Structures are given as structure tokens and as C-alpha cells.
Chain A
Amino acid sequence: MRSHTFFLLTLSVLLASSAAAKSAGSVTVYVSEDQVFSEPLLKRFEKTTGITVRALYDTEESKSTGVMNRLLAEQRHPRADVYWANEPVRAEVLRTKGLLAPYRSPSAEGIDPEFVDPQYHWTGFSARYRLFIVYTKAKSTPQSMLDYTQKTYAHKGVIANPLFGTTTAHIAALFSVLGNQKGEAFLSALKANGTAISTSNGESADFVASGMHDFALVDSDDAMSRMQRGASVKIVYPDQGKEGIGLFVVPNTVMLIKGAPHPANGKKLIDFLLSAESEKALAHAACAQIPLHDGVEAPAHLKPIGALKIMPVDYAEVARRLLQIQPYLSRWVFE
């Protein structure tokens, strides 16, 4: 009897999943944005539209291995309709490999073209700043990325492994602004100055929150979540001076997969994610992401994007530069 019950339970799980896979009222989305922030929004879409969302989550902590590798491995027969990436470089990698279909969403009206692929293969929304999280008891407060190389900050800073996540995009952006030679000199000096390397931005933020390191370059959501937990930290917007290169902005990106099984529902989900309402929800969530639509209120504890000096970058160039410098970065990390 028990074995029959177990067999029926197993069969029903398998059949349910098979049926769900074929359902016309569903959309499959692969997500690299932290599940704790993305899941509530996807549930809201499900509730509003009645379309079942079949989500596959990943995280920067696992280096987005699951989602990106699956998208690439499934290229011949795509299973995902939409990919929600937490930064634009992965979107560019997918675009160059021919995995994306162009889609110009009406919800993207009002988003600065700087954050949209010119051929509409991907669209940016709800961004994060790359900023310093600083231990409040630290003796000095860094003001620029280049402070990582200053003697005052020897053995005091930490940075996430630049082979993964938003740090990759940031370093590639820095290389595209400074040039490869100056970029390599910067990273060598940073290492020589005793800067620690962590596995992720979250870990960097934890190291600073615990007082083990004085400062770290992290995403604004990592800093905000530690501040909300009551950690003794503050945030600093780097490179805001007259000579400063400006702050690097990392938007979320959303894209339609070429050959998606449910393209119509995929487009509806993209419209939903790019809407001002979704940006507002992400701005007021614990991740405190910065809206890219005009007129949407910024999170309480972060300056609005218009009030800051932003690093001028072309994300396609950042992705190209990244592919170019990856062998150097790999040597820099492991040797």
C-alpha cells in the first residue's frame, strides 16, 4: 500500500512537471538576480496575468553556473523564454553567441538608451551602483577606486574575484576607460598593496561588516542589506571628484531567447519587468535598486542616478574588453 502511494506520488510529480512543460499558459524564465528579490516580483506577475511562471534561479554566489551554462548548452533547442540577468555583460555574451531575439518593449520607453542594446536584444532596468562599503571605525575612508593602491590602505581593502559577477564587468569597464596597460598596472598595484580577494561581493560586504577589512568595492544591494541588518558600516560613492572617472552603474537586464517556446508570454513578462511599477517594487525592496525610468522614486538611502557622476561606458565594448582581458585576469587571480 505504502509503495503504491509513493509510486503514485512520484508519478504525479513527474506527470505534473511534464504537463507544466507543455502548458500554453506558462512562461519559463531563467534568473540570475538573487532569488530573495526576484521571486516576489515573478509571483506578482503570475497573480496579475494568470500566466504560470516556471523559474530557474541562480545566484552570483554560485557564479551563475546553472543558468548561463544551461542557456548555452540548450542553444540547439531552447527551453527558456526569458533570461533575467543581474548585469549586462552576460547579456552581451549571449547576444554575440546568437542566443537572443530582438524585442523592443513598450515598457522600455523612458529608459536611458545607454542602458538598452541598440538592436533591442536586451534592455536594462533597476540598476545597482558599484560603491564602497566602509567599516565605520576605519581610520581613513577611501574616495576612489585608485585608493586600493595607496599605502594608507595597504592590507585594508578587499575585492571580489574579478573573474565572476559584477566585479568582472566593473574591471572590464575600468580597462575600457583607462586602457589595458593602465588597467593591468592598477590591478598589479592593488595586489601588491595587500588587497584581499573574496569569492563574491556578498562575502566582501560581510568581511567589512565584521570589521576584518576596512572597505570593499561591492554592489549597492550588498551594502544596503548589511546596513539594514544594523552592521557598523557606511557607503561611499567613489570617484565623484572633478578628476574622478565616475561611478559604475550595473543595470539588471532582461532578454527574449531566440526560439523561445512561449514567445508571447515571454514578451508579456519582459513588459512587466521593465515597467515603472516593477522598478518601484525593486527600489523599495531590501535590495534598494535604482530605477532607470524617469519619475520613479529612488530608494531612501541612496542618491538618485541624476545626482551622481557616472562612468561613461558602452556595455557592448565592456563585454568585448572582458573577453580580451580574461586570460590576464585568470593569471592575475591564480598566480
Chain B
Amino acid sequence: MKTRTVSNTVLLILLFLGLGPLLLLFIEALWHGGETFGQLLHSSSMHVSFQHTLLLSLGVAAAGTIAGTAVGILIGKTDLPLRKLFFALLILPLLLPPYLLALGWINSIGPSPFLHTMLFGFVGTFWVLFSVYLAIPILLTLLYLRQIDPGYEEAAAFFTNERGILLGILLPLLRPAMGLSFLLVFMLSFGEYSVANTLRYTIFPLEIFTRFSAFYDFDAAVVMSLPLLLLPIMAVAVEKQWLDRTLYRQSAYYAPRTLLLSSFQKSIFVALLTLLAATTAILPLLGLIVQIDAWQNFSDALALGASPLLHSIVFALCSALLFGGIGFLCGYVLVFRRVWLAPLLDTALLLLLLLPPTVVGIALIAFWNVPFLDMVYATPLLLVMGVVLKYLYLPTKIIQKRLQHLSSSLFEAAELLGAGPGALLRFIIVPLTLKALALAFVIGYLFSLRDSTISMLLYPPGFETLPVYILTHSANGAAGVIASLCVILIAATLLPLMIMLPLWLKRKTA
């Protein structure tokens, strides 16, 4: 009873911080702009842009999930040559703010009118978003493949060949990973407008952005976001219906099995992955890097960007710690504490991920900009809070899924020995969730570091972050220096991985 009260209180605080500002903003906008809502509902341009957005995000989610799962299986389950290289290349686009990849493509294709027609519009926007978010299904597939009990494959091997194991065992067991990938990529693509803005494809979040930036009409912009409230509710229902029921348990009596490919299959798959890596990562990144025409560009970039880089790293590390901590708390409550606020939390986190960053940013400004809250508003705390609230859904989901995989027999045994909830948490749940916590930390760091949209609205004067600095310098800044700053941003994104790698290698050797 006591733990339920604590859980509900924690959830109430989180919901107050996340939903409170949005609720106030929506009420105020409806109060002033109720009529606008009716007009917007009947506006044909709104219908068209909403259809564009749905088509784009569904397309990116479907293509990304299919391709990402296939690549994940090839990398994580087969003896394909150059697996690690392909993995590194295909993950790279996720490390950059998406609009930079679009700029890289513009530089890569040069003045060709035909390629411009292809790039500017649906095709280009689709491909850039696909390139950026392909990493998510790949990572989730790799993560879920590690959870599959190799005993299933060993048993199946008595009756079928490797194709049969793939189709009959692995793919059905990877359904939760595919479902989660689809959901995450759909949500992230839906809220992302910087690529569509660069490549001039009309989408719904861009219409909202235009209301803010061209018309300075806050009420209309906020009211326009109202239809988006339906999507997280639908997504949570879908998740509850299909994704929560297809769980499986882990055990490890057998070593993981590798699917062996023939020489012909290896050649085909290497060629396909080379093509994929070239068109999603190598070409657009080369488009940025070739602009670095002298080492002087790098030293200039380091001198100019040192302070924004430091801000970015410190803020991203703070956000990542909060992502780990709060993500664990939310995941724990969602899995183990069936409190009445839990479904609302799930929906609220999805809503924050889905809403255009401008709406979330304006809501936080309006809510926190009061004289006695200077400690929050006039410091980087607001930026950290904004980024954490915006992306908290991602670490929460990672930790929630890991917690769902924990065997109930562990808890039953511990409870028989007299362990209370505190002991269960300390000696069973936290140790078994460490990898997921580390992943949540890395994901949190990554999304905080590369964010430019919400940071643009919330960074305190004098504390700009590196992506914001790159954006504000991209207008008339030296192209070589901008490209160098992008490379520095990629290096900074890899920082936690570089720190973790020696520890992981040390542990592996031991």
C-alpha cells in the first residue's frame, strides 16, 4: 500500500512537470483560439499536410523496421564478413542532427537538376529520415537477439534447416523488437520537421512551426497540435494489445547459434549492405567532410566550438544520468506497480515525444518563466529538463522491456527467503537491469547531444550547445569550419562509447 502511494506520488510529480505546462498552454490557446480550431479542422492544406506526415512516418517506420531487422539479423546472427564495419557505418547517421544529413546530401548531389527533383520532396525526406532512424531497429534487433534462448534454435535444428530456424523461430520471437522499432521510428519521424523543412516537403509539424515562426500566432499553432493528442493514445493501445503479450523468457543452457551463410549469400549480402551504407551514411557524410579543405578549418572549429562543445557534453551527461534514473523509475512503476496513473504516464511520455519541439519549448517557457523560479529558468536546468521530458519515452521503454524479461521465479525465490521490495530492487532488479540502464544512458546522451530543436528555444543566453552553434553558424559561416564542427560533434557523441569500450574489453578478458 505504502509503495503504491510512493509510486503514485512520483508519477504525479512527473506528470505535473511534463503535462502541467502543456495543459496550461492548450487551455489558454483554446480559450483564445477556439474558433481557429474549427477553421483548421476544415482547412484542405491541413488535411494534405497531415496525410503527407502520416504517409511519410508510416513509410519510414515500415521500411526502417523491415530493413533494420534484416540488417540486425545479418550483423548479429550470421558469419557475414565486415559485420562490425557495417554496424558502425549504419549507426553513424543517428549520431548527427538529422538536418545535417540533409545538408550533406545537398552538397553530395551537386547541381544536377534531376537529382534535385528527386531529393527535394517526399523521396529525399523519406530517405534521410530512413537513414537516420535505421539504426534504431538494428540496435533493437541486436538487443532482442541476445535475449532469445538458444535452446529453441537447438531444438528446431533437429527438424529444420537454417532457413526454417530463421523463419520459424527467430522472426516470430523478434516480433516485439519489430513492433517497438516500428512504434519508435514512427513517433520520431512524425515529430521531426527539420529535414522536411530543409528538403521542402510539406508536413503537419512544419505547418505548426510556420504558424509559430512566420505568423507568430501561438494560439493557432498550439491549437493545431490538438489532433496529435490522439496518436499517443492509439499507440499505447496498440502496444498494450500486441507488444506486451509477445514476451519470452531468457535462459542460457546453450551457446548462441550462428547462422552460416554460403559464399554466394555472403557476396550478395556484402554488396547489398555496402550499397545501403553508401547511400545512407557514406555519401551524405562525405558531402559534409569534403568541405574541410585545410587542417586550419579544424583548429578554427576547435577554437570557436570549444565552449559550446563543453556545454553540450556537460548538459548531455546530466540529461543522460537523469534519463537512466527517471527512466528506471518509470519503467519500474510501469512493470511492477500497477498503479492507476501508469497508463497515463505511458501516454504522456509518448505525447511529449510526438509533439513538435516548439510546442513543448513554448509550454515550458510560459510555465517556468516566473521571477521566483530563476534557479530553473535562468540556468541550463530548463534545457536539461526540456530535453529529458522530450525524449524520456525512449529510455523508459528500453528499461521497461528489460524488466518485463526478468523471470518471475527469481522474485518468488527471493520472497520465499523473506526479501522485501527494497531487497528485491537492490539485489535482483537493479543488477539484472544494468545493461539496459547503460543503454538508456547512452541513448539519453545521444539524443541530448544531437538535439537542436528544443535546445534552440531553451538554452540560456551564453550557454549555447554545439548543434545550436552549428545551426547559427551555418548561415554565412565558412563551410570548412561548419563541416569540422560536425565531425567534432560526431566525436563527442562517441565519447561514452569510447569510455565504455575499455571497461567492456577488460570485463570480457577477465
Residue among A61, A93, A330 making CB contact with B475, cutoff 8 Å: A61
User: Are B212 and A69 in contact (CB-based, < 8 A)?
Assistant: yes
B336-394 at interface with A (beta carbon < 8 Å): 358, 361-362, 365-366, 369-371, 374-375, 377-381
- Kindly identify which residue among B215, B314, B475, B476 contacts A9, using a CB–CB cutoff of 8 Å: B314
Of A30, A37, A57, A73, most buried by chain B (CB within 10 Å of CB) is A73
CB distance B202 to A334 under 8 Å?
Answer: yes
Q: Choose from A17, A29, A36 the contact partner of B463 (Cβ within 8 Å).
A: A17
Task: Name the one of B45, B111, B369, B475 contacting A211, with C-beta atoms under 8 angstroms.
Answer: B111
Contact A65 B369 (CB under 8 A): no
Question: What residues on A are CB-neighbors of B299 within 8 Å?
Answer: none
Whole-angstrom distance between the Cβ of B388 and the nearest chain A Cβ: 14
B214 at the interface (CB under 8 A from A): yes
Please tell me if B502 contacts chain A, counting CB pairs below 8 Å.
Answer: no
Instruction: Tell me whether A93 and B476 are in contact (CB under 8 A).
Output: no
Inter-chain contact B216/A68, CB cutoff 8 Å = yes
Q: How many residues of B contact A (CB 8 A)?
A: 56
Most buried by A among B214, B215, B366, B375: B214
Give Cα distance in the complex from A203 to B412, angstroms: 64
| B214 touches which of A37, A60, A164, A225 (Cβ 8 Å) | A164
Encoded as 1 (CB less than 8 Å from any B CB) or 0, chain A from 75 to 109 comes to 01101100000000000010001000000000000
On chain B, the residues within 8 Å of A13 by CB distance are 311, 314, 380, 463
**What is the CA–CA distance of A30 and B472 in the complex, to the nearest angstrom?**
13
- B84 proximity list for chain A (CB < 8 A): none
Q: Contacts A62-B471, A331-B45, A334-B49 known; A73 to B380 CB distance under 8 Å?
A: no
* Chain A residues with CB under 8 A of B461: 28-30, 54-56, 79-80
A199 interface residue (CB < 8 Å to B): yes
* A63 with B475, Cβ < 8 A, contacts A20-B462, A212-B113, A334-B49 known: no
Task: Give complex CA distance A50, B110 in Å.
Answer: 47
A146 at the interface (CB under 8 A from B): no
Do A73 and B374 contact each other (CB < 8 Å), given the known contacts A326-B215, A334-B49? no
Interface flag for A202 (CB, 8 Å): yes
Given contacts A69-B457, A73-B366, 7 further A-B contacts (CB under 8 A): A13-B314, A30-B461, A57-B472, A62-B456, A69-B212, A69-B358, A70-B365
20 pairs from A and B in contact (CB 8 Å cutoff):
A14-B381, A17-B378, A17-B463, A21-B374, A21-B378, A34-B476, A54-B460, A55-B461, A57-B468, A60-B475, A63-B213, A65-B209, A65-B358, A66-B456, A66-B457, A70-B365, A73-B218, A74-B365, A80-B461, A168-B214
Q: Point out residues on B near A: beta carbons under 8 Å.
A: 45, 48-49, 110-111, 113, 116, 197-198, 200, 202, 207, 209-210, 212-216, 218, 311, 314, 317-318, 358, 361-362, 365-366, 369-371, 374-375, 377-381, 456-457, 459-464, 468-469, 471-477
